[in-house]
Structure 1
Amino acid sequence: MLNSWKDQLEGFVASAGERTPTELINGIRDIGVAMGHDAGEALLNSHPELFAYRPMLTRTFIEMVHAQDVAEIRQMLEVRQPASFGQIAAKETTIGVMSSKDAYKRLDEVFEHVDFSRCTNAVMVGCGGRPFTMFRIHDQTPVFEIIGLDVVADAVETANI
Structure 2
Amino acid sequence: MDVENLSGLQVDRAEPSDWPALAKIDSVAAAGDHARRDSIRRWCAQGVAVMARDSSGPLGYSVLEYSFFEQGFVTMLMVAPGARRRGVGAQLLTAVETICTTAKLFTSTNVSNHPMQQLLQHAGWHPVGLLHGLDEGDPELFYLRPSTRLRDATALGGSTTS
Smaller-chain TM-score range? under 0.3
Please state which structure has a larger fraction of its residues in helix. 1
TM-score normalized by the length of structure 1: 0.23
Question: Larger Rg: 1 or 2?
Answer: 1
| TM-score (normalised: structure 2) | 0.23
Richer in strand (by share): 2
